[in-house]
Amino acid sequence: MNWSDCESRINSIEFYDKTRKINIYISILIIGIGLIGNGLAVFVFAQKKFRLHSSSIYLLCLCFSDGIFLLMHFFEDTLRTYIDVYLNDQTRSIGIECLQFKELSLNNHTNNNSLLRVINITDRFDFSCRFVNYLRYFLRFISAYVILAFTIQRAFAIFFPFFQTKFESNKNSWFVVTIITILGLLINIWVPFLFNPIKDQNDPSVTYCDIKKEYSKAYFFLTIFYIVLTMFIPILLIFICNILIIKYIVKAGKNREKMANLKIIQRKNSTNQQQQLGDKKTLVSRFELSSGQQRSKTSTTSSFKAINQSIKYKPQNLSPKSESQRITKMLLLMSFSYAILNLPYFISWCLFFYQMALRKNYDIVLKYNLFSAINLCELFYILNYGVHFFIYCASGRKFRMQLKHSLKMRKVDRNYFY
């Protein structure tokens, strides 16, 4: 092994260590903010005022599943990675010629006692090892298909407004959420059977949660199936629905502008005709008696008042339409954020499986570079589960008002008791 190869290996591992540390700290920040945001969103959407709308049912289930997913991700990934990086001994004996090169183990071994190791229930117990991973897979599926169902429901409501009441009924929304939950429970039933605590070869008293070796090939194919099912299909369908919705909105906006211009032209023509009619009547009124002149004046003034009232008239009952537009904007922001934030993580995993599994390219430098890319892309993936609260606040005026009102009421109650 020459020095250039050794140096490239060292650089790839050092970069991998940096990306792991970046992943740890930013993940903790995202999880903390996401748990607070999703908790506040669940508190708002669970109120009776919001439960009357079908869109709030989807958002309530989404916030609840996102919050639990962030908690499971902390136990399954972030905490274990922190222990692996900062508490475990991962020194590498890399000499000048890399004669004693030792790869970094990707498993999260636990060797010493500490509070973090006690909290690390994923590696310590068989049930928690299986249950945490099962919940993590299940909640990924729920979040992806709740957003997809919400997107499809809005697309049907826009393109088929005559059936809007049927698509947007609370009963239909709860039925869709129930079907998604049942499918998620059944599709991910394989996860608990593949994971279990494995004893460390160097220290049999230490265990870490991982895939059984005899199920490694099955896990590979099931993981590909799962990634396609929970990432590729939802992202593709969300992009298609959003493009159709945006195209319809743009076309409807152009049609409204044309209709508004036609109405303005018609009103201008009508006013001109009324003015010409009024001029003729004033000429005729000169040859009439004073009483007849008074009647003609009142008729012309009343006609002008009617025209002005018709021009100034604006329909007042626009709240349902404006509310639907706000929901559509919120949906577009949510669905596009889901697709954009998940896309880098999906691409990085596709590259990893292509290089390591299909091409069987086991080059160490390439492997650690791919793992580094996955660590960085995973931050965008996790951000998807913690950003929805800010989307609700940015696009939902009703959500902001209810949140402020609820927080003020809580503050008043607290001051009253204390």
* 166 pLDDT tier (thresholds 50, 70, 90): low
Distance CA 332, CA 326 (A): 10
Task: Kindly state whether residue 253 falls inside one of the protein's structural domains.
Answer: no
Task: Kindly state whether residue 147 falls inside one of the protein's structural domains.
Answer: yes
Q: Which residue has the higher pLDDT, 418 or 24?
A: 24
Distance CA 231, CA 246 (A): 22
Q: Which residue has the higher pLDDT, 19 or 354?
A: 19
Is residue 152 over pLDDT 70?
Answer: yes
Predicted local distance difference test score (pLDDT) of residue 260: 73
pLDDT tens digit sequence for 310-353:
444 344 444 455 666 777 777 788 888 888 898 899 898 888 88
pLDDT tens digit sequence for 179-214:
999 999 999 999 999 988 888 776 666 788 888 888
Total number of domains constituting the chain: 1
User: What average pLDDT score do residues 248-263 get?
Assistant: 77
Predicted local distance difference test score (pLDDT) of residue 197: 86
Task: Kindly state whether residue 280 falls inside one of the protein's structural domains.
Answer: no
pLDDT tens digit sequence for 349-367:
888 887 777 777 667 888 8
Task: Kindly state whether residue 269 falls inside one of the protein's structural domains.
Answer: no
Predicted local distance difference test score (pLDDT) of residue 216: 82
Predicted local distance difference test score (pLDDT) of residue 169: 74
DSSP 231-276: IIHHHHHHHHHHHHHHHHHHHHHHHHHHHHHHHHHHHHHHHHHHHH
DSSP state of 202: S
Predicted local distance difference test score (pLDDT) of residue 262: 77
Predicted local distance difference test score (pLDDT) of residue 131: 92
| Contact (CB, 8 A) for 11 and 72 | no
Predicted local distance difference test score (pLDDT) of residue 328: 76
Task: Kindly state whether residue 53 falls inside one of the protein's structural domains.
Answer: yes
Percent of the chain's residues with pLDDT above 90:
22
Is residue 416 over pLDDT 70?
Answer: no
Distance CA 275, CA 292 (A): 19
pTM, to two decimals: 0.76
Please report the sign of the dihedral spanned by the C-alpha atoms of residue 256, residue 260, residue 266, residue 270. positive
The domain in which residue 110 lies consists of 3-248+325-417
Task: Kindly state whether residue 404 falls inside one of the protein's structural domains.
Answer: yes
Domain of 363: which CATH number?
Answer: 1.20.1070.10
Task: Kindly state whether residue 263 falls inside one of the protein's structural domains.
Answer: no
Percent of the chain's residues with pLDDT above 70:
72
User: What average pLDDT score do residues 292-321 get?
Assistant: 48
Task: Kindly state whether residue 217 falls inside one of the protein's structural domains.
Answer: yes
Is residue 295 over pLDDT 80?
Answer: no
Residue 197: helix, strand or coil by DSSP?
Answer: strand
Is residue 16 over pLDDT 70?
Answer: yes
Is residue 146 over pLDDT 60?
Answer: yes
Q: Which residue has the higher pLDDT, 418 or 131?
A: 131
Distance CA 166, CA 62 (A): 21
Is residue 236 over pLDDT 60?
Answer: yes
Burial of 57 (0-12, 13-18, 19+ CB in 10 A): buried
* 288 pLDDT tier (thresholds 50, 70, 90): low
